[in-house]
Amino acid sequence: MTATNGVNGAKAPKPTFPAEAATREYAASLDKADPLRALRDEFIIPSKANLATKKLAKPGLSSDPSIYFCGNSLGIQPKAIAKYMEAQLDTWASIGVCGHFTKLEDSPLSEWQLLSEQASASMCKIVGAAPDEVAAMGTLTTNLHLLLASFYKPTESRKKILMDWKAFPSDHYAIESHIEWHGLDAKENMVLIGPDEGTYEVSTDKILSYIDKHAGDAAVLLLPGIQYYTGQFFDIPTITKYAQDRGLIVGWDLAHAYGNVEIKLHEWNVDFAAWCTYKYGNAGPGAMAGLFVHERHGKVDYSEGEDAPKFRHRLTGWYGGDRSVRFKMDNKFKPIPGANGYVISNPSVIDLTTLCAALSVFDKTSIADLRQKSFKLTAYLEYLLLKDTTDADRMFSIITPSDPHARGAQLSVLLKPGLLHKVAQRLQDAGIICDKREPDVVRVAPVPLYNTFEEVYTFVEVFKSALSE
């Protein structure tokens, strides 16, 4: 879960910076020494000129890039997208339906019937799973629904679902609807775990206390790997084991953790997980999502014969059936072992294409190396924001945990009331894209794949100037 120093997996210490660190020259020196700096060239950085126009335009010149700190909402476009899309469109145009089963030479893409497996083979490395434990399919909310349909099995004594106090609507609506689907009262059976008093942070101890309190009446624990509002990275392995030891099924929404922090879903024994791929994953707006089902839940037992497979119940669909018999059309469901047995429909090849293109960039590095850079990049942002100020005179606070092991690439900056729109406008005018959340939060996410230390320096310079105006 944590950035390490490479010695027996020990936690890396929080980065420290010298007195001269608050200079543009120092920031530039960090960029020059960055071993991942070439990855920035894999992306199209929106230009300031294009951000200022309302007309459809070609990508701007690299000499006029914006500062894009909004990868926690939507990642920018990898250059590989155009290449992969061209290959896909040419395949469709040149051989039509034969594209389902024909691997064309010089194409970066598999035949369509295997394209989701191509995506899973890369995606599984990002979440720490085996390829057959991961499926590229659907969207985040759809996948949460499918997983809850399989894993939420309320009984007379165990009905409740433990969840985050400020859950993203994807989770809240899905959980609420599944409880009601079973004829239960959502208000009584949705247990919201809130932050500790006087803070926005939900401590691990607080979560464990809720698990203890509801060990006899809860069926499922479903939490975000990273909380979207505060940027807190939860202790997934500790919480998972604690809840499972008390009889709960444990699932994680990794929307803000995928492509952001190191995840080891298989090793941590997580039951199920879901994520989107358009944030830190850079696969495009509304891109195809992913899900994880631990191998123990994906087994198919044929001990009673080929026509009587036994498997974990789920909402089934044609494409969850084994390819060897898929086209027999005899309506005898033979599920694919693993997560792909949860696939419902023929997946969109266009969506898979952009996903595979985005994953091709991740294939050039590792999530461990990205996390190491992010660890320092975010610490540098925090250092510059807090430098030469005190809590008393500061016009903002950082509500993301100060512990770098308890956060990813995002810092959520809580402004004093009435400042948000002025600051947001000033940043936009300077060509700096961040996410604002009413009433007073700016979420700043320097992404290690394409953001730089000098961009962090410039952001802080403009941000502090806006506060003083």
Cite the annotated binding site for pyridoxal 5'-phosphate by residue number. 140-141, 168-171, 253, 256, 278, 318, 346
Q: Tell me whether the omega of the peptide bond preceding residue 195 falls within 30 degrees of 0, making it cis.
A: no
Give binding residues as ranges: 140-141, 168-171, 253, 256, 278, 318, 346
Question: For residues 430 and 463, what is the distance between their CA atoms, to the nearest angstrom?
Answer: 10
| Residues in Cβ contact with 119 at an 8 Å cutoff, skipping those fewer than 6 apart | 136, 288, 290, 352, 355, 356, 359
| Residues 262/127/114/319 CA torsion (nearest 10 deg) | -160
The widest CA-to-CA distance across the chain, in whole angstroms, is: 75
Count CA atoms closer than 13 A to 186's CA, side-chain side.
Answer: 11
HEC per residue, 217-266: CEEEEEEECECCCCCEECCHHHHHHHHHCCCCEEEEECCCCCCCCCCCCC
One-letter amino acid at 380 equals Y
Could you give the angle at which helices 24-32 and 367-386 cross, rounded to 10 degrees? 170
Between CA 276 and CA 289 the distance in angstroms is 4
Contact yes or no for 420/413 (Cβ under 8 A): no
Q: Give the CB-side neighbour count of residue 422, counting CA atoms within 13 A.
A: 11
> How many CB atoms neighbour CB 106 within 10 A?
5
Task: Please give the Cα distance from 3 to 1 (Å, whole number).
Answer: 7
Q: CA 454 to CA 21: how far, in whole Å?
A: 11
CA distance 427 to 63: 19
- Please name which of 405, 407, 397 lies closest in space to residue 442, comparing C-alpha atoms: 397
Residues present in the chain in total = 469
CA 387, CA 200: separation in Å to the nearest integer? Answer: 22
Reading the block at residue 192, the tokens are 């919201």
